[in-house]
Amino acid sequence: MVFGPRPPDTDGDGVDDTLDECPFDSSKTTEGICGCNIPDDDRDNDGVIDCIDNCPDVANAGQEDSDGNNIGNACDPNNGNGNTGGPGPNPFPGDCGTQAMCPAAPAASMAPFAMIGIAMMRSRLSPTPQVRHCDRHGPTR
């Protein structure tokens, strides 16, 4: 009986590259839900994997998204129901006019930065996860 050389195991996970769906990811041997090099974790333990969770750090198993912006109500500071004070009940009135003590006034100067953050979050939390496919040449999109 003659044996040839053992196929390589590039990531050192104990599975030959010829059988490993993620040969460059030592934590996975199959792509799973999120793809290679992206863990199939659930940080908030709500039963929805982070890469498809619309609010990965706050438990929201129902994935409610009242305003359809792909940011779950549990994380969305303005979820389409008039709540502009952050997650939970709105502690401030929606329009406090020009009152000097109005907590919404300083937030107006932050609006451009908030919009950039929301745009970045939306691209990260797109409804269709960006699954990476791995082959023996490495991860690809």
Residue 133 confidence (pLDDT): 53
41 pLDDT exceeds 50? yes
* DSSP 8-state symbol, 133: E
Residue 64 confidence (pLDDT): 95
104 pLDDT exceeds 70? no
pLDDT band of 34, cuts 50, 70, 90: very high
